[in-house]
């Protein structure tokens, strides 16, 4: 009952619960549980978002540094283990550490964002915390971290297994990864899961290869699952989420990951529809896309090809107050034939208060 209540699951939504071992074994007091749901979609939703409650008699063990605290409480930004992992590998995972309700919000004065392998700074007002009441547990995603920066990394994986797994394993300091064309598991047609990331896909339960997610978002598990709102889509090209309770001055941030197929450019219609019904100028919003479009506004110097659909993209974003913030005229894609092009773009609305442009490092080819 405690697990169901903490995860806001009604009893009538559960058929039965048993231990992972033998179905008739009921004397076990700890271990993995199997929960049978009556609603298939609810099961997939919980599988994607992760549970929020832990019931364990052992002290918590951080999966990042090995110390006795929860992973979301870890202050070791480099994730260098302070003890050998082998000494803690056999210990059960954690129960929730007691919350300090008197802990106040940490102050922060800027947000760093990664886009197209680029770095940009988003200066925000520093909140005044002098008169703020004590926080409740998990009321701010930064309350357990000394690191106040948000970093978002955008990358097209080109359906490669090694590229997708490499970025999931190596870019653990980022808040979010916005991936286009990730590697897809051929058994469930979904991008891979990872112990360090919440996986957000526009399609929860694809039934075939044609429904595989071509744009997805990974959110660091340093951010609790209940701070993430997944704006479910009816397509596999656009993934959108909102991060809640970032700070007093910036309560929400919305991220969009878009893949625009080069043959049909149908991603533009999906983006236009989403911005018409869901976009608001009151929420800082970032659109990171593989546009597959050429235009003089961002083409590399000397590259003259232009897509008519690129003008449509500028109009769609401009009508809703979005401007291009990724570096112009800087190549982001190097094909096997032809010249380098700029097709990976990042857009932001006025609420994001961007004061510094991004910079893109040189393309590295294999």
pLDDT at 249 exceeding the cut of 60: yes
What whole-number percentage of the chain has pLDDT above 70?
64
CA triplet 254, 185, 161: central angle to 5 degrees? 85
The beta-carbon contacts of 193-196 under 8 Å, at least 24 apart in sequence, are: 194/168, 194/169, 194/218, 195/63, 195/221, 196/63, 196/64, 196/168, 196/172, 196/220, 196/221
**Using CA of residue 27, residue 32, residue 36, residue 42, what is the dihedral sign?**
positive
Measured distance CA(152)–CA(285) in Å, rounded: 12
Q: How confident is the model at residue 144 (pLDDT cuts 50, 70, 90)?
A: very low
Q: How confident is the model at residue 99 (pLDDT cuts 50, 70, 90)?
A: very low
pLDDT in tens, 187-196: 889 999 999 9
**Residues 35 and 15 sit within 8 Å (Cβ to Cβ):** no
Q: If 0-12 CB within 10 Å is exposed, 13-18 middle and 19+ buried, where does residue 274 land?
A: buried
Q: Report the pLDDT value the prediction gives residue 20, as an integer from 0 to 100.
A: 63
Please give the model's pTM, rounded to 2 decimal places.
Answer: 0.60
Kindly calculate the radius of gyration of the chain based on its CA atoms and give it in whole angstroms.
Answer: 22
> Taking residues 348-352, what's their average pLDDT?
85
**Residues 22 and 181 sit within 8 Å (Cβ to Cβ):** no
pLDDT at 97 exceeding the cut of 90: no
| Domains, the chain, with CATH or none | 58-95 (no CATH), 110-352 (3.60.10.10)
* Beta strand 176-180 pairing with 215-220: antiparallel
> Secondary structure of the chain in the HEC alphabet?
CHHHHHCCCCHHHEEEEEECCCCCCCCCCCCCEEEEECCHHHHHHHHHHCCCCCCCCCCCCCCCCCCCCCHHHCCCCCCCCCCCHHHCCCCCCCCCCCCCCCCCCCCCCEEEEEECCEEEEEECCCCCCCCCCCCCCCCCCCCCCCCCCCCEEEEECCCCHHHHHHHHHHCCCCCEEEEECCCCCCCCCCCCCECCEEEECCCCCCCCHHHCCCEEEEEECCCCHHHEEEECCCCCCEEEEEEECCCCCCCEEEEEEEECCCCCCCHHHHHHHHHHHCCCCCCCEEEEEECCCCCCCCCCCCCCCCCHHHHHHHHHHHHCCEEECCCCCCCCECCCCCCCECCEEEEEEHHHCECCCCECCCCCCC
Helices 308-319 and 267-277, axial angle in degrees (round to 10): 10
**Region of poorest pLDDT, from 103-107, 175-179, 192-196:** 103-107
> Taking residues 145-149, what's their average pLDDT?
45
pLDDT at 221 exceeding the cut of 50: yes
Q: Report the pLDDT value the prediction gives residue 227, as an integer from 0 to 100.
A: 92
Measured distance CA(80)–CA(78) in Å, rounded: 5
pLDDT in tens, 13-65: 898 887 766 555 556 555 567 788 888 888 777 765 555 444 444 566 676 66
Q: Report the pLDDT value the prediction gives residue 23, as an integer from 0 to 100.
A: 56
Q: Hey, how many other C-beta atoms are within 10 angstroms of the C-beta on 170?
A: 9
**Residues 179 and 165 sit within 8 Å (Cβ to Cβ):** no
**Using CA of residue 172, residue 165, residue 96, residue 127, what is the dihedral sign?**
positive
């Amino acid at each position: 009952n405690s697990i169901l209540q903490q995860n806001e699951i009604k009893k009538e939504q559960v058929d039965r619960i048993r231990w992972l071992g033998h179905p008739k074994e009921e004397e076990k007091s700890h271990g993995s549980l199997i929960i049978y749901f009556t609603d298939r979609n609810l099961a997939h939703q919980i599988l994607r978002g992760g549970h929020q409650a832990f019931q364990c008699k052992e002290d918590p063990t951080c999966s990042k540094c090995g110390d006795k605290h929860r992973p979301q409480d870890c202050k070791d930004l480099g994730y260098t283990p302070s003890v050998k992992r082998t000494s803690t590998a056999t210990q059960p995972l954690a129960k929730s550490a007691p919350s300090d309700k008197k802990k106040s919000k940490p102050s922060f004065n800027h947000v760093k964002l990664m886009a197209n392998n680029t770095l940009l700074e988003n200066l925000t007002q520093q909140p005044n915390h002098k008169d703020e009441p004590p926080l409740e547990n998990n009321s701010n995603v930064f309350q357990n971290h000394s690191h106040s920066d948000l970093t978002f990394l955008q990358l097209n994986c080109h359906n490669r297994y090694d590229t997708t797994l490499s970025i999931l394993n190596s870019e653990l300091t980022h808040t979010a990864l916005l991936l286009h064309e990730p590697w897809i598991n051929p058994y469930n047609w979904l991008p891979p899961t990872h112990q360090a990331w919440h996986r957000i896909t526009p399609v929860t339960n694809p039934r075939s290869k044609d429904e595989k997610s071509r744009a997805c978002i990974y959110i660091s598990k340093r951010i609790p699952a209940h701070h993430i709102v997944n704006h479910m889509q009816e397509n596999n090209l656009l993934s959108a989420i909102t991060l809640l309770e970032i700070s007093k001055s910036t309560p929400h941030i919305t991220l969009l990951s878009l893949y625009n197929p080069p043959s049909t450019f149908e991603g533009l219609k999906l983006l236009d529809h989403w911005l018409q019904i869901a976009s608001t100028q009151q929420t800082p919003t970032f659109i990171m896309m593989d546009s597959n479009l050429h235009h003089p506004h961002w083409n590399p110097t000397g590259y003259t090809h232009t897509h008519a659909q690129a003008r449509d993209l500028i109009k769609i974003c401009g009508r809703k107050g979005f401007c291009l913030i990724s570096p112009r005229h800087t190549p982001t894609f190097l094909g096997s034939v032809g010249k380098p092009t700029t097709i990976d773009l990042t857009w932001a609305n006025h609420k994001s208060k961007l004061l510094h442009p991004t910079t893109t490092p040189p393309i590295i080819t294999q």
